[in-house]
Structure 1
Amino acid sequence: MMHPVLPGDVSAVARALLAVRDADRQRLCRRIFGGASEAAAYAGLTGRLHPRWGDGSLSAAARRFDLAAEPFLDDPIYLNCSRLVLRELARHLRIAGVAPAR
């Protein structure tokens, strides 16, 4: 399981998504979540940062990719990217058995 998620993690992933085409966002979002989980498992086993994905946080995993400049929260495309990140977080938590399905 990856690190606990902070608001800055959501922002970093949303900014990574904002920097790619709409058609690529879902795939990139899942890749970032997978990388963060992989890094957390690696760090738990070795006590070291993952060489590619970092410390197990979403922010570290997102920063492997280009990040768009942080827009204002009322930017509609940024809002869509943030929603995508939050949906993926809810999915990830359901799969891990941490949050109930709705």
Structure 2
Amino acid sequence: MRSVLIGDLLAAAEVLAAVPEPARADRLARLLRGAALAERHRQRTGRAHPRYGDGSLMAAAMKQPRAPGAVRDAEFRRCLGMVLAELE
């Protein structure tokens, strides 16, 4: 997976906010695996992965349904915290 930037964090949190809380850990794990797979694909072929994009977390997230995030929304902040904790 490419280096994670703030846009990656926000996009991933939007994906998590779009699914019920019990499914979020699995969805996050799949996003991270997809981004890593895409980065390996990009390095090997020089092209973006057809399903997961260019190897960034944002590209993988943009292929998923997302709930528009607002920092004022407590649920979105919990999702953002979950992404940050997993990356740590």
**TM exceeds 0.5?**
yes
Overall identity of the aligned pairs, in %: 41
Unmatched segments (≥5 aa) in structure 2 = none
Deviation at 1:70, TM superposition (A): 2.2
Which consecutive unaligned segments of at least 5 residues does structure 1 have? Answer: 91-102
Matched, 1:66 2:84: no
Q: Distance in 1 between matches of 2:49 and 2:60?
A: 10
CA distance in 1, matches of 2:80, 2:37: 22
* Distance in 1 (alpha carbons) for counterparts of 2:8 and 2:15: 11
CA contact (8 A) 2:15 2:64 kept: yes
Tell me what 2:36 maps to.
Answer: 37
Measure the CA separation in 2 of the matches of 1:37 and 1:88.
Answer: 14
Q: Larger relative contact order (C-alpha < 8 A, sep ≥ 6)?
A: 2
The alpha-carbon deviation at position 35 of structure 1 amounts to 0.2
Letter paired with 2:3: P
Tell me if 1:51 matches 2:61: no
Conserved in 1, the CA contact under 8 Å of 2:41 and 2:47? yes
Q: Which 4+ stretches in 1 moved above 3 angstroms?
A: none
2:20, 2:63 → 1: CA distance?
17
Deviations 1:23-42 (A, max 9, x none): 00000001000000000000
TM-score between the two structures when normalised by the length of structure 1 = 0.83
The count of residues paired between Structure 1 and Structure 2 equals 88
Give TM-score scaled by structure 2 length: 0.96
Superposed, which structure 2 residues align to 1:1-102 within 5 Å?
Answer: 2-71=1-70, 73-90=71-88
